[in-house]
Amino acid sequence: MPNDKVPWPLFTIDFEASGLGEFTYPIEIGIAAWRAPNLPVETWSSLISPPMAWGQHRIWSREGEAVHGISREELAGGISPLEALTKANELIGGHTAYCEGGEHDLRWLLHLAQAANIPASFRLGNWKTLSAVLTASQQAQMFRWLDATPVVHRAGADAERLMKAWAV
Protein backbone atom coordinates (compact mmCIF):
# COMPACT_ATOMS: atom_id res chain seq x y z
CA MET A 1 0.00 0.00 0.00
CA PRO A 2 2.66 2.61 0.85
CA ASN A 3 3.42 5.29 -1.70
CA ASP A 4 6.56 7.29 -2.45
CA LYS A 5 5.81 9.81 0.34
CA VAL A 6 6.38 7.24 3.09
CA PRO A 7 9.43 8.15 5.23
CA TRP A 8 11.34 4.84 5.09
CA PRO A 9 12.26 3.09 7.27
CA LEU A 10 9.07 2.93 9.36
CA PHE A 11 8.93 2.09 13.06
CA THR A 12 5.98 1.67 15.38
CA ILE A 13 6.27 1.38 19.14
CA ASP A 14 3.83 0.34 21.83
CA PHE A 15 3.97 0.10 25.59
CA GLU A 16 1.92 -1.86 28.06
CA ALA A 17 1.91 -0.26 31.47
CA SER A 18 0.98 -0.68 35.10
CA GLY A 19 -2.11 1.44 34.42
CA LEU A 20 -3.04 4.76 32.88
CA GLY A 21 -2.08 8.07 34.36
CA GLU A 22 0.83 10.09 35.61
CA PHE A 23 2.13 7.69 38.27
CA THR A 24 2.15 4.52 36.18
CA TYR A 25 5.16 2.86 34.57
CA PRO A 26 6.00 0.82 31.46
CA ILE A 27 5.99 -2.95 31.90
CA GLU A 28 6.38 -4.07 28.27
CA ILE A 29 7.84 -2.49 25.15
CA GLY A 30 7.22 -3.57 21.57
CA ILE A 31 8.70 -2.31 18.33
CA ALA A 32 7.84 -3.17 14.73
CA ALA A 33 10.30 -2.19 12.00
CA TRP A 34 9.63 -2.08 8.26
CA ARG A 35 12.88 -0.99 6.69
CA ALA A 36 11.78 -0.97 3.04
CA PRO A 37 8.68 -1.95 1.05
CA ASN A 38 10.35 -5.13 -0.27
CA LEU A 39 11.39 -6.33 3.22
CA PRO A 40 9.31 -8.11 5.87
CA VAL A 41 8.11 -6.42 9.05
CA GLU A 42 10.33 -7.34 12.01
CA THR A 43 8.98 -7.27 15.56
CA TRP A 44 10.71 -7.25 18.94
CA SER A 45 9.21 -7.01 22.40
CA SER A 46 10.12 -7.64 26.00
CA LEU A 47 8.71 -7.35 29.47
CA ILE A 48 10.43 -4.71 31.59
CA SER A 49 11.51 -5.59 35.11
CA PRO A 50 10.62 -2.53 37.19
CA PRO A 51 13.27 -0.91 39.35
CA MET A 52 12.48 -0.91 43.06
CA ALA A 53 11.56 2.79 42.96
CA TRP A 54 8.76 2.13 40.47
CA GLY A 55 7.27 -0.53 42.72
CA GLN A 56 7.47 1.75 45.75
CA HIS A 57 6.41 5.08 44.27
CA ARG A 58 4.24 4.31 41.27
CA ILE A 59 0.80 2.80 40.77
CA TRP A 60 -0.09 -0.79 39.84
CA SER A 61 -3.65 -0.97 38.55
CA ARG A 62 -5.62 -4.22 38.80
CA GLU A 63 -7.82 -2.88 35.98
CA GLY A 64 -4.73 -2.44 33.80
CA GLU A 65 -3.58 -5.96 34.64
CA ALA A 66 -6.98 -7.26 33.55
CA VAL A 67 -6.55 -5.51 30.18
CA HIS A 68 -3.04 -6.72 29.27
CA GLY A 69 -3.02 -9.91 31.34
CA ILE A 70 0.53 -9.39 32.63
CA SER A 71 0.99 -9.99 36.35
CA ARG A 72 3.49 -8.18 38.56
CA GLU A 73 5.18 -11.51 39.21
CA GLU A 74 5.86 -12.03 35.49
CA LEU A 75 7.86 -8.80 35.34
CA ALA A 76 10.72 -10.39 37.30
CA GLY A 77 11.53 -12.27 34.07
CA GLY A 78 11.77 -9.05 32.09
CA ILE A 79 14.82 -7.03 31.13
CA SER A 80 16.04 -3.90 32.91
CA PRO A 81 14.99 -0.43 31.75
CA LEU A 82 18.59 0.09 30.54
CA GLU A 83 18.45 -3.08 28.42
CA ALA A 84 15.01 -2.16 27.07
CA LEU A 85 15.97 1.37 26.02
CA THR A 86 19.37 0.27 24.69
CA LYS A 87 17.63 -2.28 22.44
CA ALA A 88 15.00 0.29 21.33
CA ASN A 89 17.77 2.79 20.50
CA GLU A 90 19.63 0.10 18.56
CA LEU A 91 16.54 -0.87 16.55
CA ILE A 92 15.16 2.61 15.84
CA GLY A 93 18.33 4.71 15.80
CA GLY A 94 17.68 8.38 15.15
CA HIS A 95 14.37 7.80 13.34
CA THR A 96 10.83 8.49 14.48
CA ALA A 97 8.84 5.69 16.11
CA TYR A 98 5.11 6.12 15.55
CA CYS A 99 2.61 5.30 18.26
CA GLU A 100 -1.04 5.78 18.99
CA GLY A 101 -0.79 6.22 22.76
CA GLY A 102 0.03 9.92 22.65
CA GLU A 103 0.90 11.42 26.02
CA HIS A 104 0.83 8.01 27.71
CA ASP A 105 3.53 6.58 25.42
CA LEU A 106 5.61 9.73 25.85
CA ARG A 107 5.31 9.50 29.64
CA TRP A 108 6.31 5.82 29.66
CA LEU A 109 9.27 6.49 27.35
CA LEU A 110 10.41 9.30 29.66
CA HIS A 111 10.09 7.02 32.72
CA LEU A 112 12.09 4.36 30.88
CA ALA A 113 14.84 6.85 29.94
CA GLN A 114 15.02 8.19 33.47
CA ALA A 115 15.34 4.71 34.98
CA ALA A 116 17.87 3.67 32.31
CA ASN A 117 19.83 6.88 32.82
CA ILE A 118 20.25 7.25 29.04
CA PRO A 119 18.23 9.26 26.51
CA ALA A 120 16.11 7.79 23.76
CA SER A 121 17.87 8.23 20.41
CA PHE A 122 14.53 8.47 18.63
CA ARG A 123 11.45 10.68 18.65
CA LEU A 124 7.85 9.60 19.05
CA GLY A 125 5.43 10.51 16.30
CA ASN A 126 1.66 10.33 16.06
CA TRP A 127 0.66 7.30 14.03
CA LYS A 128 -2.48 8.97 12.66
CA THR A 129 -0.42 11.91 11.44
CA LEU A 130 1.83 9.48 9.58
CA SER A 131 -1.20 8.00 7.81
CA ALA A 132 -1.80 11.42 6.22
CA VAL A 133 0.79 10.56 3.54
CA LEU A 134 -1.60 7.90 2.21
CA THR A 135 -4.32 8.54 -0.32
CA ALA A 136 -7.91 8.67 0.91
CA SER A 137 -8.65 5.19 -0.47
CA GLN A 138 -5.47 3.79 1.12
CA GLN A 139 -6.45 5.32 4.45
CA ALA A 140 -9.96 3.88 4.20
CA GLN A 141 -8.57 0.42 3.42
CA MET A 142 -6.10 0.66 6.30
CA PHE A 143 -8.73 1.73 8.83
CA ARG A 144 -11.13 -1.03 7.69
CA TRP A 145 -8.32 -3.55 8.29
CA LEU A 146 -7.61 -2.07 11.73
CA ASP A 147 -11.29 -2.20 12.66
CA ALA A 148 -11.34 -5.90 11.72
CA THR A 149 -8.09 -6.70 13.56
CA PRO A 150 -8.43 -6.53 17.34
CA VAL A 151 -5.93 -4.89 19.69
CA VAL A 152 -4.52 -7.64 21.93
CA HIS A 153 -2.89 -5.31 24.49
CA ARG A 154 0.54 -6.86 24.19
CA ALA A 155 3.24 -4.43 23.09
CA GLY A 156 4.87 -6.43 20.29
CA ALA A 157 1.62 -7.62 18.75
CA ASP A 158 0.07 -4.15 18.93
CA ALA A 159 3.14 -2.44 17.39
CA GLU A 160 3.08 -5.07 14.63
CA ARG A 161 -0.67 -4.56 14.10
CA LEU A 162 -0.13 -0.85 13.43
CA MET A 163 2.71 -1.59 11.03
CA LYS A 164 0.85 -4.33 9.16
CA ALA A 165 -2.05 -1.94 8.62
CA TRP A 166 0.28 -0.15 6.22
CA ALA A 167 0.89 -3.29 4.20
CA VAL A 168 -2.78 -3.96 3.49
Helix, strand or coil, per DSSP, at residue 134: coil
- pLDDT, tens digit (0-9, with 9 covering 90-100), for 5-25: 888 999 999 999 999 988 999
User: What is residue 2's predicted lDDT score, i.e. its pLDDT?
Assistant: 62
Residues 63-99 have pLDDT tens digits of 999 999 999 999 999 999 999 999 999 999 999 999 9
| Higher per-residue confidence, 86 vs 1 | 86
Closest among 8, 9, 75, 82 to 48, alpha carbons compared: 75
For residue 138, the Cα-to-chain-centroid distance in whole angstroms is 23
Q: pTM for the full model?
A: 0.96
Where do the domains of the chain lie, and which CATH numbers do they carry? 10-167 (3.30.420.10)
**Mean pLDDT along residues 28-33:** 98
- pLDDT mean over 99-125: 96
Q: Which of the 8 DSSP states describes residue 3? A: -
Do 49 and 79 contact (CB within 8 A), yes or no? yes
How far is residue 26 from each of residues 22, 41, 50, 85, measured CA to CA in Å? 11, 24, 8, 11
